[in-house]
Amino acid sequence: MLKFLKLWPPVFAWCGFIFYLSSLPNLGTGWGYWDLILRKFAHMLEYFILAALLYRAFKGSFKFPAFHLTVWPLLLTFLYAVSDEVHQAFVPTRGPSIQDVLVDSAGIILFYIFIRNKAGAENVD
pLDDT value of position 125 = 46
Mean pLDDT by 10 residues, the chain (125 residues): 88 97 83 85 96 96 88 96 96 92 97 86 58
Per-residue confidence (pLDDT) for residue 32, from 0 to 100: 82
Long-range contacts, stretch 77-80, CB < 8 angstroms, 24+ apart: 77/47, 77/50, 77/51, 77/104, 77/108, 78/104, 78/105, 78/108, 80/15, 80/18, 80/47, 80/50
pTM: 0.89
